[in-house]
Amino acid sequence: MAYTQVTDVIIPELFVPYTIEETKERSAFWRSGVVTDDAVIQGKMANGGKELHLPFWHDLDGDDSVTSDNDTSTITPDKIDAAEQVAVVLRRAKSFSSADLAAALAGDDPMRVVAQRIAPYWSRRFQTALLNTLNGVFAETNMASEAVYDVSSDAASVPSGAYIDGPQVIKAKGTMGDAMDDIRVMAVHSVVYQRLLENDLIEFLRDSQGRATIPTYMGMNLVVSDALPTGTTSTNNNTTYTSYLFGPGAVGYGEIAPRTPVEVDRDALAGDGEGIEYFVNRRHFCLHPYGMKWAGTPAGQSPTNGELSTGGNWVRVFERKNIPLAALITNG
């Protein structure tokens, strides 16, 4: 008897590139230019391993020398030295299963829905991994002291200066010194976004079809996500919200297909003989904030989101102004 199975509608050679492209197209961080494809990261991933070592030269430094015709004057040679960024490979997978009887009773095929919705699912999971990475980066000792501007208040009556506004955003951008104009994108929690809307501080740009759909604030594109960090103050339990500011291409991305990126299976005897189908999708990818070095030792073969968000697992290796990232903490 012939019948359509998951294997008939999912062709791995076509499914994998489609899913990768859809994941990026649906992500606001890709669309805004915060995350960009990195051919070097992509190439190094093809060599295997848990980490990717990205060497770089420090910029030239040191005082110059004054020359003269005095034969006792000397010019002392200086040196140029190197260091490295270290990116970490994330290996993730997701599986779904469906009983034939469920499809029969529902009048639709759950596995067809899985195949259609797997790309937006991964888009959300990539965003979660990215935000946990940023949480860890801003908890790193140097970044916490030099790249985070905190105006939140623990007072019973929160002052107006503890809420987001132009001066606070300028101060956060100012943590980059004379490179502050490199900041072009800001990610905010929906509560912060609502405050900006209420204060009529958001302008909307028109998309390619002439619709006013792209929110901007102070010339920066806005990304809105409730996955951004929130917290509470110590005494009065005031809610705090962390907004992240980015320069274009602040995060490099690479992805390589695992040996078996898509797998389907069927257990004919499961479900009291009705049969159950299984679908597995695996993703091996890297989201690396430039200027940082992964220094953690994950418990497994790849870091969890909790390990990515731990500040002690990261080390800053670029000068502050060469890392186009900043954080602003407000009460809304």
In terms of DSSP bridges, do strands 230-232 and 239-246 run parallel, antiparallel, or are they unpaired? antiparallel
Distance CA 33, CA 246 (A): 9
What pLDDT band is residue 82 in, cutting at 50, 70 and 90?
Answer: confident
Q: Following CA atoms 246, 38, 133, 163 in sequence, which dihedral angle do they give, to the nearest 10 degrees?
A: 10
> Does the structure show a pLDDT above 50 at 105?
no
Please state which of the ranges 54-68, 190-204, 308-322 shows the lowest mean pLDDT.
54-68
In a domain, 305, yes or no: yes
Cβ neighbors of 11 (< 8 A, separation 6 or more) are none
Q: Residue 45: inside a domain, yes or no? A: yes
The answer as to whether 76 is a domain residue is no
Please list the helix, strand and coil fractions of the chain in percent, rounded to the nearest 5, in that order: 35, 30, 35
- The set of residues, in sequence order, having a beta carbon less than 8 Å from that of 197 and lying 6+ positions away, is none
Whether residue 68 lies inside any domain: the answer is: no
Which residues are CB-neighbours of 20 under 8 A, at least 6 positions away?
Answer: 255
Pick from 127, 184, 136: nearest CA to 292: 136
Residue 165: how many CA atoms within 13 Å on its side-chain side? 9
Domain presence at residue 70: no
**Res 121 pLDDT > 80:** yes
DSSP H/E element including 105: helix 100-106
pLDDT in tens, 224-246: 999 999 999 999 999 999 999 99
Residue 280 maps to a domain: yes
Confidence of residue 118 (pLDDT cuts 50, 70, 90): confident
Tell whether 63 is covered by a domain. no
Is residue 161 within 8 A of residue 168, CB to CB? The reply is yes
The answer to whether residue 318 scores a pLDDT higher than 50 is yes
Q: Quick check: 4 pLDDT over 80?
A: no
Q: How many CA atoms lie within 13 A of 320 on its CB side?
A: 20
How many domains, the chain? 1
Average pLDDT (299-314) is 97
Q: DSSP assignment, residue 227? A: T
Give the per-residue pLDDT at 1: 41
Residues 6+ apart with CB under 8 A from 254: 37, 38, 40, 41, 42, 43, 44, 45, 52, 285, 286
DSSP class of 176: G
Measure the CA–CA gap between 41 and 289, rounded to whole angstroms. 12
Instruction: Determine the straight-line distance between the first and last CA of the chain, rounded to whole angstroms.
Output: 61
In the prediction, which pLDDT does 9 show?
53
Residue 77 is assigned to a structural domain of this protein: no
**Share of residues in the chain with pLDDT > 90 (%):** 62
Instruction: Give the predicted TM-score (pTM) of the model.
Output: 0.86
- What's the chain's average pLDDT? 87
Q: Which of 65-69, 108-112, 230-234, 309-313 has the lowest mean pLDDT?
A: 108-112
Contacts of residues 302-306 at CB distance under 8 Å and 24 or more positions apart, as own/partner, are 302/50, 302/88, 302/89, 302/90, 302/91, 302/92, 303/88, 303/90, 305/128, 305/129, 305/132, 306/132
Residues 6+ apart with CB under 8 A from 220: 183, 184, 185, 186, 245
Residue 107: pLDDT band by 50, 70, 90 thresholds? very low
Which residues form the domain of 305? 6-57+84-330
C-alpha pair distances (Å), 12 with each of 2, 4, 106: 21, 16, 27
